[in-house]
Amino acid sequence: MNKKLYALMAAPLLFAACNTPEAPAPTAQNETPVVESQEVVVEEKIAAPAADNGLVKYIDKPIIIEQGMLHINGFMGTLKPTLVSALKEDPTYVTAMGVCSAIAMDMTNSYNATTTDTKVRRTALKYRNPKNQPDATDVKVMEQLQGTVDFKPVAIDAGDHYRVYKPLQMEKPCLICHGDLDEMKPEVVKMIKTNYPKDMATGFIEGEFRGVTVAEIQK
Ligand code: HEC
């Protein structure tokens, strides 16, 4: 296939890959007053069974969710231009893998360097990058979120800070790097095995809960 054409096709795909196309949260997208964001019903499904499980204290504070989502969307939005330009140089999945892994961490660090009271990161139960390993609270929250159908964010009170968790959904393009090993390109599989020998982040199917982007907001 024509290389340029391919690059054009791959760009949005890779953007999607590292940037979660699901992201736009109505609550944080515009400067909606709190009134509207109250539609984010946190308690309804998630909090009820887990509200008091010893570790995780779910809260129903639209303003916190809104604040967290602003950072989560802001963070995700910084990935796009860098990825797209990297892709233009060598639009193969393998390069994409490298780009994805190098950039995701870099972007996380540089985004966090610009904020004072909020830190963002990504994590998952079945994670690839050991640097994205969840802590005990993350695990509890994600065990609840695994059953999510609306992929809406939830917030918790974690003592000296709040955490907003935005669930990420497996989309078709994600399967290139997180799908069934037998169906993935051998080059990609090889690269995963080399770079992430303890990778757990394959075998997902489309539509499934993949992990979260977390915003930690100091109180
Ligand atoms: C080009 C390959 C590629 C594609 C496509 C891809 N990822 Fe990843 N993903 C990676 C790599 C490499 C890492 C580990 C490095 C990092 O980002 O920290 C990773 C890490 C992650 C993480 C952080 C937790 C962990 O496992 O370390 C999440 C969450 C994630 N991917 C979700 C997605 C979603 C959702 C999609 C689709 C919208 C997607 N990925 C598509 C390569 C890819």
| DSSP sequence for 139-203 | HHHHHHHTT-SS---EEEE-SSEEEEEEEEE--GGGHHHHS-GGGS-HHHHHHHHHH-TT----S
Coil vs helix vs strand at 91:
coil
Q: Whose CA is nearest to atom 16 of ligand 1?
A: 101
**How far is the centre of ligand 1, averaged over its atoms, from the C-alpha of 160 (Å)?**
29
What residues flank ligand 1, with Cβ below 6 Å?
16-17, 20, 93, 96-97, 100-101, 104-105, 122-124, 127-129, 132, 168, 170-171, 173-174, 176-178, 201, 210-211
Which pLDDT value is given to residue 83?
A: 56
Q: Whose CA is nearest to atom 31 of ligand 1?
A: 18
Q: What pTM did the predictor assign?
A: 0.77
Residue 96 CA, closest ligand 1 atom number: 1
Domain that holds residue 81: 3-218
Query: Each residue's pLDDT tens digit in the chain (219 positions)?
Result: 334 433 334 433 443 444 433 333 333 344 444 444 444 444 444 444 444 456 799 999 999 999 999 999 888 777 655 655 655 565 566 666 766 676 678 778 888 998 889 999 999 999 999 999 999 999 999 999 999 999 999 999 999 999 999 999 988 878 888 999 999 888 889 889 999 999 999 999 999 999 999 999 999
**How far is the centre of ligand 1, averaged over its atoms, from the C-alpha of 35 (Å)?**
34
**How far is the centre of ligand 1, averaged over its atoms, from the C-alpha of 44 (Å)?**
29
Say how many domains are in the chain. Answer: 1
